Structure 1
């Protein structure tokens, strides 16, 4: 459904993407995981025609993204990081204007349908600025889905939401997949990637350093982690390939030892030596 081949993009002397290549299958939820500055948002901007790469090619549903941006816009929906709803208009007015711009047929009926799916019917005539952050994110999703796109891009979809609202949003994203849509989401929330994604690509400094299902990636680096405090008071994590190896390491330590299952951040640390939330600057 999506094919990226050797995409590079620089901003001045900073290389945001460095010969990035990967494919996304039709109907899967694919996650781009990495710290701020890894190149996640730049990738989404290229695929959604907001910026052009310096070199490389990319296709969505066999349509050339770079050379046919207007055709691409007909088959994609985008939920950006920033909330770009018209805050002084109602939920219904936001959807109505968006639907008219995209020439959605039978618009009023489709608005009612999407509001029901997003559980926003009761908020139909509420002014956006009066809604909670979670309800505004739902409205952004509803707007993106209104033209019935084949591919949905979610750039940090649950950023700034509390854990309860975040999980409600995850349920909605899972429903979207059951409709046969392809979803690409960027996130730095480890739990989000593990809960939603069929496959994950891990980015670091514009390069793809790992690709696979969450289970495959964790198995490759080790399925268990032993954590303990060293003599200097630092938290040490050792990744192990078996439970027996983890218990053996734990027996060699004194108090304060914990054994847990590995997660995608452990994969990232193993591959790069950095933690996902340590890098602050996004390109």
Structure 2
């Protein structure tokens, strides 16, 4: 379970979220909705330890801090909406890039299986072998995407 407790997110001196509390259960798909500038991307960037925050973020009882963010990134994959992919990669390969900090020269069967499961849960498994350069803008991304791996 991913848990946010009294989370306040800051971009410089601007507070973009204040005292946010939420729980995200394993096996469920969640959407974060709001108007432009509401802090959706900031929240996801914070989960990936890219923005300063106050409060507590925990995943499976491990608390995120800037001192452990490299280990944390191995458990959370994040694909920002403004990612520009100019290489001929399949959609599956792009999803796997979300695991960049834990990828080696050889992909494990488990990494591929988990990425395919995430794609299936999002209803995009049919795009797995499609070249990302041939997908429409909406098929490439409809906002930031973040997923947690066990």
Which TM-score band applies after superposition, normalised by the shorter structure? 0.5 to 0.7
Task: Go from structure 1 to structure 2 and tell me whether the alpha carbon gap of 1:120 and 1:47 turns closer, same or farther (over 3 Å shift).
Answer: same
Structure 2, unmatched stretches of 5+, are none
Task: Name the structure where helix makes up a greater proportion of residues.
Answer: 1
Are the counterparts in 1 of residues 11 and 51 from structure 2 also a CA contact under 8 Å?
no
Task: Go from structure 1 to structure 2 and tell me whether the alpha carbon gap of 1:94 and 1:57 turns closer, same or farther (over 3 Å shift).
Answer: same
* Larger Rg over CA atoms: 1
2:51 is aligned with 1:44: no
Distance in 2 between residues matched to 1:100 and 1:17, nearest whole Å: 28
Mapping of residues 4-83 of structure 1, within 5 Å:
4-53=4-53, 55-66=54-65, 67-83=67-83
In structure 2, what is the equivalent of residue 230 of structure 1?
none
TM-score by structure 2 length?
A: 0.66
Are the counterparts in 1 of residues 49 and 69 from structure 2 also a CA contact under 8 Å?
yes
Are the counterparts in 2 of residues 48 and 78 from structure 1 also a CA contact under 8 Å?
yes
In structure 1, what is the equivalent of residue 133 of structure 2?
129
Task: Please give the root-mean-square deviation of Cα atoms over the aligned residues, in Å.
Answer: 3.7
Specify which of 116, 120, 131 is matched with residue 127 of structure 2.
Answer: 120
In structure 1, what is the equivalent of residue 149 of structure 2?
150
Are the counterparts in 2 of residues 7 and 56 from structure 1 also a CA contact under 8 Å?
yes
Distance in 1 between residues matched to 2:12 and 2:78, nearest whole Å: 27
Task: Go from structure 1 to structure 2 and tell me whether the alpha carbon gap of 1:56 and 1:91 turns closer, same or farther (over 3 Å shift).
Answer: same
Structure 1, unmatched stretches of 5+, are 152-283
Specify which of 105, 109, 124 is matched with residue 108 of structure 2.
Answer: 105
* TM-fit CA distance, 1:122: 5.7
